[in-house]
Amino acid sequence: DRGDDTREAVVLLLNALVTDGLLTDPQMARGFEKLVLGWEDLQLDVPDAPGQLAALLSARVGLLDRGLFARLPEGLVQKLVVGLEPGPPREALETHLAALRDFKAGMDERLAEVLAGGAAENVVEWLNRADKASFHHEVVLGACLVSLDDADAQFQERRRVVLCLLSHLSSNYSLTDVDIQMGFSRLLGSLQHSGGALTSELQKNKRDQVTSLFRGAVEHELLPAEFLKSVRRMRFGGSEGVEVIRNVERQTPMHSRRVWGSGDARHFRQEVRESIVEYFDAHNAQELGRIVEELHLSDQEQTMFIRKLLVTGMERGEAEAALDAAEALLGRCWTLSEVRGAFVELRDVQEDLVLDFPRCRECATDMVFAAVGRGLLEQQDLICDGANIV
């Protein structure tokens, strides 16, 4: 929504970040996909948004893989066609659009056959004959969309068939990881644009079914847990998409845990912080408890989680809310020993906290006495000045 000079400056900056290794090509592609998913909303404020998105893929800009152009959604390509004057560029786009529509028509026929009991191998043979690898993500999106149904029993059967089909296509390399992830990204994007067209009950039903499809894709190892974390951070699908991904992560804890077990401590710390911040935003201790249970924390990590909960409560001026959660989840998520360990850790780190939070000592002392009053700590945990934990 700025002038040409600003856009050129941004392109130069992004190119420099890629050159210096501070941005990777996959990160750039995900950022572009985020814009593609929201192109209709962008167009409300920037009428030329479709043209500007296409321009980012030009050889002159050199910022993104030009192969992404073939993967643009049909609606966006149609908008580009309408905006062009008659001539070779428009004719080329019309040819591409016609090929995309032909592919999707053939895809719909094959998907209908599979849902009626046809063999998945027939889809493989058709994909090989069509020879349109850049459109294969449409198979993923189309299969997911065709499985959605108002009747839950019908959906469950279609879901089973669709997940078996996608697993088959993935195992014989008809679908790549890019195809699968882009297809599911577009599925999230469909939530963002269907809210106004559906009643709240139908929208919830669609959201629940999309959640179920994502959960199945994770359980079939079609989607990695890291993909879920990435699309949630970037808010693919808006608030509806974020809710779907949060629910999927909670329903597939062991798959999400693999990411942290691989040594990616930064993502684990971020997950802990996000869950704590969400608690203070909603003050829903039971929801926090579900998240903690699904994180499968070790005893040491449990103590660390409580300590971070206490620190965040002090920093936000919501110490009572922090203690509310610690008390509500006692016996369910943690023991008195772990709560006591968290207060010990709190005293150990307060010298570091005091630099950014000068009242840290006073607040910690107040919280200790409040915890004793709630039965989270015992009188013997206090020494005579009431300031330290034994």
**Residue 357 zone, left/alpha/beta (φ > 0; ψ -120 to 50; rest):** beta
CA R_g for the chain: 26
Under 8 Å CB-to-CB from 283, ≥6 apart: which residues? Answer: 321, 324
Instruction: List the chain residues with pLDDT less than 50.
Output: 259-263, 384-390
List pLDDT tens digits, range 19-77: 888 877 777 888 888 888 888 888 888 888 888 888 877 756 565 667 788 899 999 99
List pLDDT tens digits, range 82-91: 888 899 989 9
Query: Do 261 and 218 meet the contact criterion of CB atoms below 8 Å apart?
Result: no
- The pLDDT value recorded for residue 148 is 92
- The pLDDT value recorded for residue 347 is 84
Tell me how far the alpha carbon of residue 114 is from its chain's centroid: 29
- The pLDDT value recorded for residue 262 is 43
b/e per residue 288-327 (b: at least 16 CB within 10 A): bbebbebbebeeebbbbbbbbbbbbbbbeeebebbbbbbe
Q: What is the number of alpha carbons within 13 Å of residue 220 lying toward its C-beta?
A: 21
- The pLDDT value recorded for residue 67 is 77
- CA distances in angstroms from 376 to 283, 287, 309, 315, listed in the order given: 19, 21, 14, 20
